Structure 1
């Protein structure tokens, strides 16, 4: 639980605040309010601040306000509030509004008659209440994740008291930023550390905003270098996580991000087990570098063995040798035979059930089976080929960008 820019605007007494830009980004987390008394703000903020500029101590002309916008974007502030009216800033220049909108920075106008002490007091009080509730929620979840709680019944009672929905089936997802060494190789230590913390904060903010719009949300937990999410088990979860991964890759620059997902757990008493499973899946993802950045614990099996192969080219050669002849780059759908082979293996070789899975006619799948055997030079009745193909398909699904028609 955290205070967002949008929630600030809804606080009692702050109805006079008006959003001028960044309407689609009001989910940004506000760490604290900061009144900027210097000409620039880059040296005085660390990210997450709701920055107020008044024009009292420095002339805030168009050029200065544009510079403040650029500083705020670079430093990752939550939003910018400009006081207008009185004898200082009469209005917000249109260029400033357009610049903030272009960068997705919430820009808010505060009439000068709305006293600053009222605004900062309301935000400060809300932040204190939010922080207390946040600490309680994180404490409960951290205890459940480590198994370090006095009793499960007490943990459930505490969760109910703070309206923390821990009952019901969930999937635990653990994420970690990788290739951190790249930052320290390319930048001086101080700058590398600043970039690392800024990126971690950007990821946390994005994860919290992403989880907030989902039903039955739970807070994102930080444990060491892990981001941990406990998500409702839904049919679209895997596709949703792939979309989330693509969004996060735009935030992490030269670093990489990997995810590991645990098996479904039915209640909060199994969160500790789920975290252990997600860690194992995450370790495999970091070893095999899937294009989706994602590994599901339920799919591990032989991947544990593949993880032990030090030379990744050996794995790639095996996949290419096994599946390469079935890829048809000249066709509109080059992976049709791979998807058909995958469906056949999923249905234990039953062509009729595989045809139903693919929503195609039985004659069509029989034709595809003939093409698979002709182009691979193997028989689907050969158990060794089926085993090799199953392993190769598992690696292929992880390391290749799936086609739009992929099953």
Structure 2
């Protein structure tokens, strides 16, 4: 369980929390809980802390609490719990208004609830959730990357983590494009930041999939998250909608994080999970060609065959055998015959559309096509010739991705 300000009150003792402000920040993840009365300790915060206070040291409660909220928000704390009782009877309106503006959650807690009880409850849940995630990560990685047989014991353990052998699943591999940039500070890898980034992304994924009433199994692996979920094969189109909604939610909630999603095939047997993940990873590699941030393995067409070939040197030889003469001619004469040919093929040999895209006259295009035929000693009306050229362009695109 990822504990955030939106679900923290489902935990023992924390059910006494009453949200007073900052409902727009309820998706803030709680990494730990701290009791704080002296604001000087704010400088020690790393982000994600839920702060508990009684305001016992505050002389001017309104102004000091207002400053505390602003400072905690600037340090990226998760939220604030005010223990209402002898030192503060209620959260001042000015503080509530500021917290609402910042989207910074403020909770009130009755004075009779002990801080030690609520902090232990939250921290224990956080710790156990992390342990369970690490255990599931290790187990699922062995399934995906190892050669362990899917025995009855292994399947039963997978069932413990949420797998249902009678259901059909789909797999997303969600790749964080700018992960290294986010977690490397002063040329030093920050493991805590890396964990926090993945927690934030996981929260967005969980919230989005909840909208589809989907429980997920997720595996965090380096700079990607593998997500498995039940799917109704009668509604396959919904899979693409789910992926798009995850991308949209990421854009609106975590603009600084850029993701791409590869969609693998459907699977039911646990031993087929690795093949679905492999397909999703191949789809990710092709994203540059499709100029998108979502790609399904089923949509990559001829590139699936190229993955099977897999020999980069052989593909480069093929590319130069087909297009080498045109490439050499363009280099020596500063012409654009290769670009012209690719656009012509992409536009299904439509002269008008091709000329328009290249910003040239139709007669100029006809002349270029004639020169291409002369240099390559071919007939562009021959479908076999066009197929070879198209294949060569796809090979070139593929080489740049692998």
Q: Distance in 1 between matches of 2:190 and 2:129?
A: 31
Which blocks of at least 5 consecutive residues in structure 2 are unaligned?
320-326, 328-335, 357-380, 395-402
SS of the aligned residue for 1:259 comes to strand
1:239 to 238, 241, 263: 241
Q: What residue number does 1:92 align with?
A: 91
Q: Is 2:58–2:64's contact at 8 Å kept on the other side of the alignment?
A: no
Q: Is 2:22–2:103's contact at 8 Å kept on the other side of the alignment?
A: yes
Q: Is 2:2–2:203's contact at 8 Å kept on the other side of the alignment?
A: no
Displacement of 1:238: 0.4
Q: Distance in 1 between matches of 2:338 and 2:95?
A: 53
SS of the aligned residue for 2:261 comes to strand
Q: Distance in 2 between matches of 1:167 and 1:213?
A: 23
Pair 111,294 (structure 1): closer, same or farther in 2 beyond 3 Å: same
Q: What residue number does 2:100 align with?
A: 101
Displacement of 1:236: 1.2
SS of the aligned residue for 2:248 comes to helix
Q: Distance in 2 between matches of 1:268 and 1:128?
A: 28
Q: What residue number does 1:65 align with?
A: 65
Within 5 Å, which residues of 2 pair with 1:12-31? 12-23=12-23, 25-31=25-31
Displacement of 1:223: 0.8
Say whether 1:229 aligns with 2:231.
no
Displacement of 1:222: 0.9
Deviations 1:59-95 (CA, angstroms, capped at 9, x unpaired): 57334434443444444433321222212x3321223
Q: Distance in 2 between matches of 1:267 and 1:24?
A: 41
Say whether 1:144 aligns with 2:146.
no
Deviations 1:253-272 (CA, angstroms, capped at 9, x unpaired): 56632221111112322111
SS of the aligned residue for 1:263 comes to coil
Pair 319,77 (structure 1): closer, same or farther in 2 beyond 3 Å: farther
Q: What residue number does 2:293 align with?
A: 293
Q: Distance in 2 between matches of 1:194 and 1:318?
A: 51
Q: Distance in 1 between matches of 2:338 and 2:41?
A: 51
* Larger helix percent: 2
Q: What residue number does 1:248 align with?
A: 250
Q: Is 2:5–2:26's contact at 8 Å kept on the other side of the alignment?
A: yes
Q: Is 1:208–1:220's contact at 8 Å kept on the other side of the alignment?
A: no
Q: Is 1:62–1:93's contact at 8 Å kept on the other side of the alignment?
A: yes
Q: Is 1:182–1:255's contact at 8 Å kept on the other side of the alignment?
A: no
Q: Is 1:258–1:294's contact at 8 Å kept on the other side of the alignment?
A: yes
Q: What residue number does 1:207 align with?
A: 205
Deviations 1:317-373 (CA, angstroms, capped at 9, x unpaired): 77755449569x9xxxxxxxxxxxxxxxxxxxxxxxxxxxxxxxxxxxxxxxxxxxx
Deviations 1:270-317 (CA, angstroms, capped at 9, x unpaired): 1111121111111222x33x5541111112233476998999x99987
Within 5 Å, which residues of 2 pair with 1:246-285? 246-250=248-252, 253=255, 256-285=258-287
Aligned residues: CA RMSD: 4.4
Pair 75,198 (structure 1): closer, same or farther in 2 beyond 3 Å: farther
Pair 157,201 (structure 1): closer, same or farther in 2 beyond 3 Å: closer
What is the count of residue pairs matched by the alignment? 339
Q: Is 2:170–2:265's contact at 8 Å kept on the other side of the alignment?
A: yes
Deviations 1:23-72 (CA, angstroms, capped at 9, x unpaired): 46545443322222431565333333222233234557334434443444
Q: Distance in 2 between matches of 1:384 and 1:101?
A: 65
Displacement of 1:230: 1.0
TM-score by length of 2: 0.67
Pair 73,113 (structure 1): closer, same or farther in 2 beyond 3 Å: same
Pair 384,11 (structure 1): closer, same or farther in 2 beyond 3 Å: same
Q: Distance in 2 between matches of 1:112 and 1:59?
A: 19
Displacement of 1:160: 3.1
